[in-house]
Amino acid sequence: MEKVIFLVDMQSFYASIEKSANPKLQDRPVVVAGDPERRSGIILAACPIAKQYGVKTAEALWQAQEKCPELVIVRPRMKLYIDLSYQITQILERFTDQVEVFSVDEQFMDLTGTERLFGDKYSVARKIQEEIQEELGVYARVGMGPNKILAKIACDAFAKKNENGMFYLSHDNMKDTMWHLPVGKMFGVGSRMERHFARMGIQTIGDLAVYPVHYLKKRWGINGEVLSNIANGIDYSPVKTETHNKQKAVGHHMTLPRDYETLEDIKIVLLELCEEVAKRARAKNYRGHTLSLGLRGANFDLPTGFHRQIKLTSPTNYGMDLFHAALQLLSKHWDGLPVRSVGVTLSQLQSADVYQLSLFNPSVEKDQLSKAMDDIRKKFGHTAIVRASSLNKAGQVFDRAQKIGGHYK
């Protein structure tokens, strides 16, 4: 039996929630974005009216305001969006227990074998749209296919453009409907990869589908084969309802409010990031063997900055251990150009309960100090104890404490 997989996507999720909550915004061009005065502010969601002015998700706020001076800017409320995303999951679980949360506004469903209960796939999709619209005031688009990748492409490339918000993409119709699309429209292909493909003469998804896979594997390894499979609609991955698989890494990334040009400024946010990563590792009872550091410049389309990793002398979840390792990478690889984005990741995780003891090891004292700080922050708030360096202008800990995932709660 061929599978029936849905990808349910919420149209302009954040903006739709804000419009639903405030009827006065119904006929206004609304975007959800960061603070207008911050240069780093980007558009997180734009309603269809705003998109008519050419406003796009992920573009700078000042660019959107130039396109649409009447733009209504709403500060994000991430806790609300996360709560409503969970309510959407509960609605979808009325139709199947096979639901996978793909992102805050996208969820996969495996509806194979449910036709006798709910009708054909189009009937189910319509019922899902109606229930989400009626209960939450948000419009859902539904991509359908025999696997997750075709359902995803069906949603992104076709359902979002169809008046009924639905599309079924199969192996039978994908050559006529999908292969003529620019390769940059394919899931998994970013702007940099698109430029690589253009130099190889690959312009469309169909071009990629018929390109010899051994050349792609030679150039990009397993990722080349994966991209070839996507272009050919091949995907064997199941809808995963289990979300508690063993974690492989703990990380934190920060887009800065301005270009950081001095070593001292970069060190301040680097210490904050290392402390946050260490805190998350402790909360999950992990220690890590490897630390990775990534820096990017202001132009994310250009290959600026670096991404390197270093093996730690022993597994740790102590912030200063991570910071000292990160400083080694920074001093060795930073080219001195302005930095706009910083990310720190702790990987090769193991249980914090299992680690090698050495004579005169100060790990016990570190653990006790870290636990005391974690307990105080849990009771009195994240900013109850901060490093003195975070009081400098470059520090971001107080601003980030007001946010979830980098956006306001």
Fold observed for domain 179-231: DNA polymerase; domain 1 (1.10.150)
CA–CA gap between residue 12 and residue 31 (Å, rounded):
9
* pLDDT for position 359: 41
Give the active site residue among 106, 272, 275, 276. Answer: 106
Report CA dihedral (344, 350, 356, 362) to the nearest 10 degrees: 40
pTM: 0.65
Low-confidence ranges of the chain (pLDDT < 70): 35-40, 242-247, 299-303, 353-370, 372-409
* pLDDT for position 93: 93
CA–CA gap between residue 281 and residue 343 (Å, rounded):
15
* pLDDT for position 253: 84
All structural domains of the chain with their residue ranges:
1-170, 179-231, 249-408
User: Domain 249-408 - what CATH class?
Assistant: alpha beta
- Sheet (strand 286-296) strand order: 249-260, 339-351, 286-296, 306-316
What SS3 string covers 350-366? EECCCCCCCCCCCHHHH
Known active-site residue 106: yes
Q: Is 110 labelled as part of a ligand binding site?
A: no
CA–CA gap between residue 208 and residue 227 (Å, rounded):
8
CA–CA gap between residue 203 and residue 181 (Å, rounded):
9
- Which residues, listed in sequence order, are joined to residue 87 by a DSSP beta bridge? none
Q: Is 156 labelled as part of a ligand binding site?
A: no
Q: Which residues of 124-159 are buried (b: 16+ CB within 10 A; e: fewer)?
A: bbeebbebbeeebebbbbbbbbbbbbbbbbbbbbbb
| Range 1-170: architecture per CATH | 2-Layer Sandwich (3.30)
* pLDDT for position 357: 45
For the record, the structure tokens of 65 come out as 């305001």
CA–CA gap between residue 304 and residue 335 (Å, rounded):
9
* pLDDT for position 297: 84
CB 12 within 8 A of CB 44: no
